Structure 1
Amino acid sequence: MSRKPVPLPPPKERRRLREARSLSQEDVAARVGVTRETVRSWETGRTDPRGRKRDAYAAFLVAIAREPAPPAEASGAPEPPGAAPDRPAPGPPGPARGDGAGPPPRHRPGAGRPARGPKASAQRSTKPPLAGQVRHSHAPPPGGTSPLNAIAQPAALLNPFGRRHAADGSLVTAERAAGLSADQAFDRLYGHSAPALVRQTYLLTGRRTLAQESVERAFHQAWQRWPEVAVDRDPAGWVRAAAYEYAMAPWHRFRPALRRPDPPPASPEDHALLDTLMSLPPMHRRTLLLYDGVGLDLPETAAETEASTPAAAYRLLRARRSVAERLPVLADPDALHQGLDRLARGEKLQPPRVAEVRSGCERRTRFWTRTAIAFTVLILGATALTLRTAPTAYEPPEAPPETVRGVPPRMGPGPLTDERLALRDLLREAPRTGPHRTHPELR
């Protein structure tokens, strides 16, 4: 009887737990008894541990998850007024600090992450604005919650279950505790995250139809894989990553409907900002949107873009420099966030209704299921027909007759003459002895 494998958190959660305790991959490798490359492959999701290594790794993650939280500096609490700012790490030469284009400081794992609980929003908003530093906050606009960072808020507006929905970080426990079915939980997640996600995807692609289609496809995947999404630590982040991946797929350039650009925004400032965003490389644009638009911190941005933290930091710096060169008024990170927020609010993009998304997902699933069944039946029928009509023994083919040229004439005695035939008959009738055997004569 095989033993059931020990459950493990998702790869992003493994990396977050390690960085929240200021541990390096070498430390984890030494604790578990593996190499650093093995730990890296576990955290990126390329491989999963097995056997005793899986048990040791799961016990290690449980141990660091139960450890007390780091000091206030690492938990995202506001620093005292006299606290010294973070010291930036050496980086490539660039503009002086204060213009939002200098190199970010060396990020301490867990720094800038908002505290969990009802006071998370208040602690997040008390951090000083970014001026060459890693973490900053963006005050919501007067109209209410920002359409960009609404999907990154840890409050109930984003996730009806909150970030403290269960001790094990799963939505299944929260659904059962709240008495919600899977349909109701999906509907609440869609209602709170889809509108903001459509605007984010529009800023990522610059196309309204593609943004709506990407969000719809992402929620299709979420509904198809709802058991996996329900146990994820951040279900809205799961859907956001799926929508971004679909929106940034390179094969969209071959679609005839997307060859013509969409009408630009009405405001000249928004038009210039959108053109600047579209001029950035795709990964730089995504990093800038996640950090300065959505409001994720640097480790979460690096994990979602599948890059290291230093690589994400320098992508962010290059994107900010490009924006500051073309639009100097947006050199400040807070001004850039406000510009992104204004551009997102100017687009009246509405996702389809949640009932249509779920029904469309189910129709698509039924269609592909029936197509797979029909294709399988077709293959089986063709195989059966081949077996029925195929010969059971080898039948060599008969070659057509051909004239062979260049063959030498037949050598040997030809046909006997009448004289020789008579002599042969005489010899056969005569006795076997006597002189006439040696000298036969015809009479």
Structure 2
Amino acid sequence: MSPSPLPPPKERRRLRQSRSLTRAQLARRLGVARATVRAWESGRRAPTGAEGRAYTEFLGAFAPPTGPDAPSAKPVPGKPEPLTPAQAFDALYAFCAPALVRQTYLLCGRRELAREAVERAFQLAWQRWPEVARDRDPAGWVRAVAYDCALSPWHRFRPCYRHPEPPPADPADRDLLGALLKLPPSYRRTLVLYDGVGLDLPETAAETEASTPAAANRLTHAREAMAARVPELADTALLHRRLTELSSRERLRASRPPTVRTLGERRNVFWTRAAIAFTVTIIGATTLTLRTAPTHYEPPIAPAQAVQGVPRAVPMGPLSRDELALRSKLHGEASSGSERVEPTPR
């Protein structure tokens, strides 16, 4: 039987510490000095001789078996295999999306916006799947994001959502939805979570990011407002049933899970490329500025100033007698020839 191979130096120290042994205790057991054990664990010296074989056998007794002879892990019969991230996401989507679309419709009153909000929430969930998968309530995580998307005030600026959608055909459902949409968004969300979804008061307060007394106050005022507009809704059991019936009567469908995952991945790729392009643009603009910017100080041109002491221009007056005689003489002489350039001897 060949001796077991030595593990790496860090593994040697870990194996010793796993047995709660100090270097001095191991040295006494092997009959060597403490410095020798330190040298073996640091890798500066290889174990040799009888002490080295004893040290190797000590490590081999606690090291996990490796190599081709190591026993392979066999699947336990009857134990389900772990789901892949895509399979887990699809299972969560199939379980939550249909009901979540109906709940979101009660918040916004728009069928297309409800479907869009739920898809956007699941796209964010797929983007942050490691975080969502470890959350104690993945369905609550997605529901909170979907509600935030549905109640976003920015939808009013979108052209497709400037006009209201056709109301429900049933007059009772129309009155219920109208009364629900007249509530403030925080009251509406609290009412849907408590009376529609069926959460208890602490869970409703946690999901709406409010204290329990504040959530109870919102719920009380929301119920009073609903009862004032539709008196028969003063009964909370009837209110819960009517909310469930209203959301169930509408034809609200969610997209397929692979479609949502694909759209989310495409959105991530698009924004990643946009961020890269924006960064490259900033770098290019900065480089161009550095190349074209002046490298030395250029003093500004001084502003113009008025010159003092210059005599004012005087208009020409009438000619004197001598000036008139000179002009007549000049006019009478030849206008060309050498006489014009050579001085006349006097």
TM-score (norm 2): 0.64
Q: Distance in 1 between matches of 2:299 and 2:108?
A: 64
2:221 is equivalent to residue 318 of structure 1: yes
Equivalent of 2:257, from 346, 354, 362? 354
Q: Distance in 1 between matches of 2:84 and 2:149?
A: 28
The equivalent residue for 1:295 is 198
2:307 is equivalent to residue 405 of structure 1: yes
The equivalent residue for 1:363 is 266
The structural deviation recorded for 1:277 is: 0.4
1:184-333 aligned within 5 A = 184-333=87-236
The structural deviation recorded for 1:329 is: 2.1
Q: Distance in 2 between matches of 1:178 and 1:241?
A: 30
The equivalent residue for 1:381 is 284
What per-residue deviation string (whole Å, max 9, x for no partner) do you get for residues 138-188 of structure 1?
xxxxxxxxxxxxxxxxxxxxxxxxxxxxxxxxxxxxxx9741110100000
The structural deviation recorded for 1:218 is: 0.6
Percentage identity across aligned positions?
Answer: 65
After superposition, the Cα gap between the structure-2 partners of 1:403 and 1:290, relative to the gap in structure 1 and judged at 3 Å, is closer
Q: Give the match's secondary structure for 1:179.
A: coil
Q: Distance in 1 between matches of 2:232 and 2:155?
A: 33
Q: Distance in 2 between matches of 1:302 and 1:357?
A: 30
2:311 is equivalent to residue 394 of structure 1: no
**Structure index of larger Rg:** 2
Of 183-192 and 243-252, deviating more is 243-252
What per-residue deviation string (whole Å, max 9, x for no partner) do you get for residues 324-378 of structure 1?
2222222211111110111011111101111111111111100110011011111
The equivalent residue for 1:112 is none
The structural deviation recorded for 1:403 is: 5.9
Amino acid across the alignment from 1:200: Q
Amino acid across the alignment from 1:384: T
* Structure 1: gaps (5+ residues): 1-175, 410-443
Counting matched residue pairs gives 233
After superposition, the Cα gap between the structure-2 partners of 1:392 and 1:180, relative to the gap in structure 1 and judged at 3 Å, is same
The structural deviation recorded for 1:254 is: 1.7
Amino acid across the alignment from 1:219: F
Structure 1 segments of 4+ aligned residues over 4 angstroms from their partners? 397-400
1:396-435 aligned within 5 A = 396-398=299-301, 402=304, 404-406=306-308
After superposition, the Cα gap between the structure-2 partners of 1:398 and 1:312, relative to the gap in structure 1 and judged at 3 Å, is closer
Amino acid across the alignment from 1:374: A
What per-residue deviation string (whole Å, max 9, x for no partner) do you get for residues 230-260 of structure 1?
1111000000000111111112122221111
The equivalent residue for 1:428 is none
CA RMSD of aligned residues (A): 1.9
Q: Distance in 1 between matches of 2:125 and 2:286?
A: 37
Q: Distance in 2 between matches of 1:406 and 1:220?
A: 78
Q: Give the match's secondary structure for 2:295.
A: coil
Equivalent of 1:180, from 80, 83, 91? 83
Amino acid across the alignment from 1:404: A
Q: Distance in 2 between matches of 1:323 and 1:390?
A: 66
Amino acid across the alignment from 1:320: R
* Structure 2: gaps (5+ residues): 1-78, 312-346
The structural deviation recorded for 1:391 is: 2.5
TM-score (norm 1): 0.51
